[in-house]
Chain A
Amino acid sequence: QSVLTQPPSVSAAPGQKVTISCSGSSSNIGNDYVSWYQQLPGTAPKLLIYDSNKRPSGIPDRFSGSNSGTSATLGITGLQTGDEADYYCGTWDSSLSSWVFGGGTKLTVL
């Protein structure tokens, strides 16, 4: 059971928008920044969003992040088939003194 809760799967059609939620508590998301990672099949995770809403160089602005209280959200607009992947949120948990990840969300682009 992950400390951060994500929906197991989401789906949407090409060109549409999707959001992926990440629910935590006051000891993690409520107190710290969130980062998001994309893991394409058979590859290592890749940083998509850091400091809750910043994109690293090279990440298109179709990807966005936001926080509200003890939840974080990843938004993806203009969906492409190449966006099919697993998405993970992560942050520091001060109660556990440990980095924690969400359980991951599988995105299907129909």
Chain B
Amino acid sequence: QVQLVQSGAEVKKPGASVKVSCKASGYTFTSYDINWVRQATGQGLEWMGWMNPNSQNTGYAQKFQGRVTMTRDTSISTAYMELSSLTSEDTAVYYCARAPSAALPGQYYFDYWGQGTLVSVSS
């Protein structure tokens, strides 16, 4: 069965960076995009960007441009999301989510999600 298993909770100081991992299993890792979505406590979902594990092509939401980097290691079927220059506003649960690579942007959707990783930013 398809599974996305994320790394554990992180506590960071303002100005630091965090790198969250997402290990995929149960399907061909390079056949689907990995997206990252975050959710602050009590708030809605916020899309951060996507990565194609095969081509390494990425696309980031404008809000995070210059501050987020999405990478992968195909040998261990793992995707990574690194966010830098953290502030308290970045305190949230971060989710990875799978999406069909072959889909046109208008036909995109997220069919499997990781369990989420809480990132807390506090001095």
Which residues of chain A from 73 to 110 have any CB-CB distance to chain B below 8 Å in the complex?
Answer: 88, 90-92, 94, 96-104
What are the interface flags for B83-122 relative to A under an 8 Å C-beta threshold, 1 for contact and 0 otherwise?
A: 0000000000001010000000111111111111000000
Contact between B45 and A35 (Cβ–Cβ < 8 Å)? Answer: no
Contact between B105 and A92 (Cβ–Cβ < 8 Å)? Answer: yes
* Cβ-based interface call for A17 (8 A): no
Number of interface residues of B (CB under 8 A): 24
Task: Give min CB distance, B7 to chain A, whole Å.
Answer: 15
Contact between B110 and A100 (Cβ–Cβ < 8 Å)? Answer: no
Most buried by A among B44, B46, B47, B50: B44
Contact between B111 and A101 (Cβ–Cβ < 8 Å)? Answer: no
Determine the main DSSP class of B at the interface with A: mixed
* Cβ-based interface call for A33 (8 A): yes
* Cβ-based interface call for B59 (8 A): yes
Task: Give min CB distance, B105 to chain A, whole Å.
Answer: 4
Contact between B45 and A90 (Cβ–Cβ < 8 Å)? Answer: yes
Known: A44-B114, A47-B110, A96-B62. A104 touches B45 (CB 8 A): yes
Known: A44-B116, A98-B61. A32 touches B109 (CB 8 A): no
* Cβ-based interface call for B21 (8 A): no
What are the interface flags for A28-48 relative to B under an 8 Å C-beta threshold, 1 for contact and 0 otherwise?
A: 000111010100000011110
Task: Give min CB distance, A9 to chain B, whole Å.
Answer: 13
Q: Pick the 10 closest A-B CB pairs, nearest first.
A: A32-B106, A35-B109, A50-B109, A99-B47, A44-B113, A92-B105, A101-B45, A104-B44, A103-B44, A47-B111
Task: Provide a sorted-by-A list of 26 A–B residue pairs whose CB atoms are within 8 angstroms.
Answer: A31-B106, A33-B109, A35-B109, A37-B110, A44-B95, A44-B114, A44-B116, A45-B37, A45-B110, A46-B113, A47-B109, A47-B112, A50-B109, A50-B111, A51-B109, A90-B45, A91-B106, A92-B105, A92-B108, A98-B61, A98-B62, A99-B47, A99-B50, A100-B47, A101-B46, A101-B47
